[in-house]
């Protein structure tokens, strides 16, 4: 059985809490993230067996469709994403290049990150979800420049242009920048 994650981004904090409570009662899932996010939205991210995550997210979408900003289910999610929610990143000795993706929505950003990680030889070094950054998601991946370019381009390819705030690819990144980011 593969590990899956699913999320719903609500535009109402109160309704988000209410529906999240009902969702986790319906399915056997682990809550990875449950929090009010800027600006006035609420986010739940769950993990578990594919069928349980699907049941949970589908119930939430059906129950709160008029309150939903975005949602997703990712089957066989890249392990770096689950670890990123727990602030556990792979140690990297020599980072040469980084790619930074800034998306307008958390759900869209996570889908983009999964695509970037699965399509190239990069690792996640930072995952920042919406708190104090206006409801956005920012991720930073590292690797050789060609791998970073492929990963970021693949991540960008699944986003609507309105979901992208900005993208940066930085070759030969300074060690001080890396130290402060990580």
Query: What CATH number is associated with residue 161?
Result: 3.30.70.1710
Indicate whether 163 and 106 sit together in one domain: yes
Q: Is the per-residue pLDDT at 150 higher than 60?
A: yes
- The pLDDT of residue 52 is 96
Confidence of residue 133 (pLDDT cuts 50, 70, 90): low
Q: Are residues 49 and 63 in the same domain?
A: yes
Output the pLDDT for position 44.
Answer: 96
Tokens standing for 168? 């940066």
pLDDT of residue 139: 96
Write down the pTM of the prediction. Answer: 0.88
Tell me, yes or no, whether 68 and 157 share the same domain.
Answer: no
Residues 38 and 85 in one domain: no
Q: Residues 66, 84: one domain?
A: no
Same domain, 170 and 105: yes
| Pair (64, 88) in one structural domain | no
20-45 pLDDT per residue, tens: 999 999 999 999 999 988 778 899 99
Whether residues 64 and 131 fall in one domain: no
Single out the residue in 31, 50, 74 at which a domain terminates.
74
Claim to verify: residue 168 and residue 123 sit in the same structural domain: yes
Would you state the structure tokens that stand for residue 113, as one six-digit string? 């990150």
Mean pLDDT computed over every residue of the chain:
91
With a pLDDT cut of 90, the percent of the chain lying above it is 74
Mean pLDDT of 74-102: 90
Give the mean pLDDT of 80-106. 89
pLDDT score of 149: 98
Res. 1: pLDDT tops 60 = no
Query: Which domain range does residue 47 map to?
Result: 3-74
């Amino acid at each position: 059985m593969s590990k899956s994650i699913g999320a719903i981004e609500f535009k109402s904090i109160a309704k988000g809490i209410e529906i999240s409570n009902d969702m986790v009662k319906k399915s056997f899932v682990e809550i990875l993230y449950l929090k009010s996010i800027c600006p006035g939205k609420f986010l739940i991210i769950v993990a578990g067996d594919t069928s349980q995550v699907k049941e949970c997210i589908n119930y939430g979408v059906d129950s709160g469709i008029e309150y939903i900003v975005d949602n997703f289910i990712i089957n066989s999610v890249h392990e770096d994403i689950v670890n990123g929610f727990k602030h556990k990143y792979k140690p990297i000795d020599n980072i040469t290049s980084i790619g930074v993706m800034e998306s307008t929505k958390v759900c869209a950003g996570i889908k983009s990150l999964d695509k970037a990680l699965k399509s190239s030889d990069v690792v996640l070094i930072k995952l920042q979800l919406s708190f104090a950054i206006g409801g956005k998601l920012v991720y930073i991946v590292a690797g050789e420049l060609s791998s970073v370019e492929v990963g970021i381009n693949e991540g960008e390819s699944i986003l609507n242009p309105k979901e992208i705030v900005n993208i940066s690819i930085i070759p030969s990144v300074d060690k001080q920048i890396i130290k402060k980011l990580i």
